[in-house]
Amino acid sequence: MAEAAVTMPVVLLVLMFGINISLASYTAVAASNAANYAARVGAVSRVNPQFWAYKAAQASLNSSRTGGTFGVPSVQVNPNPGGVVVVTIHWEYPSLFGGLCAYFGHVCPESFSGNAVSAWKKEGW
């Protein structure tokens, strides 16, 4: 019983950390997939590719159902045939251990965050 009382909190903390990291990774993958989809839609759009890429990114992010938050997608389009469509999406997921690290004398970030960037070459109409 004494060994279980000592090891159980450590096992639970490791388990919660693993779950938190995997949910943050899932949010990053959802942002990456949305950026890829939006860049691909912008690359094949003949009329107003920036608008259609932005709308595709928003639709993909709205249907992702992650616990994270996403920034407004940035879409840059070279309108010439053979130009490049670049979509950047900022993602963020809250860290459950941000406040807990202070008890151990460390400073941990309050959230995990990053950028997902995708570039596609436009179709040569």
| Across 16-30, average pLDDT | 92
Instruction: Examine the pLDDT at 31 and tell me if it is beyond 90.
Output: yes
Instruction: Examine the pLDDT at 115 and tell me if it is beyond 80.
Output: yes
Domain count, the chain: 1
| Across 35-53, average pLDDT | 92
CATH number for 104: 3.30.1300
pLDDT in tens, 57-109: 999 999 988 888 999 899 999 878 788 999 999 999 998 887 777 777 777 78
Instruction: Examine the pLDDT at 32 and tell me if it is beyond 90.
Output: yes
Strand partners, 107: none
| Measured distance CA(37)–CA(106) in Å, rounded | 39
- At CA 113, angle to CA 107 and CA 119, rounded to 5? 150
Q: Which domain holds residue 15?
A: 2-121
What pLDDT was estimated at residue 125?
59
